[in-house]
Structures are given as C-alpha cells and as structure tokens.
Amino acid sequence: MNGIGPPLVTPFDEAGGVDYRRLRELVDWIEGRGVDFLVPCGSNSEAELMTAAERARVIETVAEEASVPVLAGTGNPGLRETLEATRAAADAGADAALVVTPFYYDHDQETLEAYYRELASESSLPIYLYSVPAYTGVRLEPDTVGRLASHPNLVGMKDSHASLPEFVRTKRRIAESTADVVSSAGEFDLMIGSGSVLAQALSAGAVGGVLALANLAPAATAEVFEAHQEDPERARELNEDLVELNTAITADYSVPGLKWAMRERGAPAGYPRAPHREPDAEARGQLRALLDEL
C-alpha cells in the first residue's frame, strides 16, 4: 500500500441500513478520481456502528468492485474478535488488514506489542498497525512500532497522531529495527492519517496517506501526492489549500459533515448511522462555503 487511500465511508440509507448498491457506485466514483487503494471498515466508515456480518459483507462488496488493492479494517477490542474479523476479510478478498489498537480497556505498550505479534503470526493477511489516539485514547509509541516492524507479517502503519516530530521518531525506530529484515510485503510502509499534514509527512518519509479527505476530494488529495514526487514545495502549497476543508470534515463536523459534503459533490455517500446526526444549518453553510473554494 502506497499513495492515497480513503477510509471509505459506508453508505447507509435514511433508515440506517447498509446500501450495498450505493457502496458499489461509491467505489467506482472514488476510483475514477485517482486513488491508489481503498480502506473499507475504517474509522470514517462507521465500522464501530456496524455488526460483524455487515463489516464482512462491506469488505466483500468493495473487494468485488475494486480494481485497486483493498486494505480492510478488522480491529476490535479483543484478540479473538480481531482474528475472526481478519479471517473474514481474507475470505472476502481483502489484500491486507488495518488493525486499530485494542481500546476500551487500558493496555501498556508491552501488552500492545504482544497483541500485534500474536495477531500477525496467526493471520494469513499482512497486517498494518493503526494508531488513532483521538478515538481510542491509545497511542503506539515509536519504540513499540520499531520493535513490531521487525515481524515479517507486520508490514506497515497508519499513524493518525498527526505529530510530525513523533512521526519522524517512529520512522527512525523502524529504520533501526528493519535494517536486516525482509517482510512479506517488502519495506515497512508508514502512512499518515491526517490530510492537513500530508505533504510534510511525505517529506518526512511517509509512503502515502489513509485520509478522510480522500473520500471528498480524491483528485485533489492525489494531486498533492503526485506533486510531491517532483516538487515538494508545490505539494505543500496544494496541501495548504485543503487544510480548512480537512479540518471541517474531521475535527469540526466528523463523519456526518463528510457525508453531507460528499453528497453535495455528487458522491453516493449515503447518510450517517445513529447515533450520528445530520449537520445543522450552520454547519452546512460553513461546509458549502469551503466546497465553493475547492
């Protein structure tokens, strides 16, 4: 996995059911705008509001429709649940699994390391770590990631901490740990999870990003990635133009705002699932103004 991958929103109908027809349309809509891979059942997919059966069918639907690699979210609070979800994702046709840190209960770094090692040893799919402290309250520390990167079936990480100094520290720990290691997928892929710092993260060694913004503005996000290959300064300028919009659809209005903005752009994003609620008039006005600048 490298380049740009959206944590694909899950289209729900107005009654809250998964709209699988719209999901297939969404895969085509986003793929046609230049993304490199797709990430069903991530945070912006509202995966934690879905049943295990729904998650498995969503992954299967995306894998059937997609012509790019599929990195499926399979993380749960417990190891057994995660193993079952990862097996289901493999059966559904996913290419790799993105596994969020165990949450709800407090775990120290030693416990997190043991969890990922056991999972990776059991899984037939390559495993990507996923650290998103804003949602889980759990952070994978750079030293922990460095040690885990030596496991041959732990092949990458989505870092949504959005701290560039910590990102650099993590990158260095990985390099120290993997100097003499060959994983099942080559080098350990470190990806950023915040669209506001995509260009800076690429300069710091990221291979790409798993970005909520890529649902709404896939072409613009891909342009930042592509520009960085030849002109990092131009990439930073392009990225700066997207910061306000990215903040609005993540920190300010979250998934309901993202889906509303996507529908405004003609994307078959569907509706948020309860307890999420549609954005109010003020939020819609602010989002509309930002979309007008896109």
DSSP 8-state code for residue 152? T
Say if residue 210 carries a ligand binding annotation.
yes
Encoding tokens for residue 50? 């879905």
Q: Note whether 174 and 145 are within 8 A (CB).
A: yes
Q: Note whether 227 and 191 are within 8 A (CB).
A: no
Q: Which residues on neighbouring strands pair with residue 154, listed in sequence order?
A: 127
Q: Note whether 18 and 54 are within 8 A (CB).
A: yes
130 classed as catalytic? yes
Q: Considering 158, 171, 253, 259, which one is annotated as catalytic?
A: 158
Q: Considering 130, 171, 253, 271, which one is annotated as catalytic?
A: 130
What would you measure as the largest C-alpha separation in the chain, in angstroms? Answer: 56
Question: What gap in Å lies between CA 293 and CA 242, rounded to an integer?
Answer: 9
158 classed as catalytic? yes
Q: How many CB atoms lie within 10 A of CB 213?
A: 27
Residues in the chain: 294
User: Which amino acids are annotated catalytic?
Assistant: 130, 158
Binding site as annotated, residues for pyruvate = 210
Annotated binding site: 210
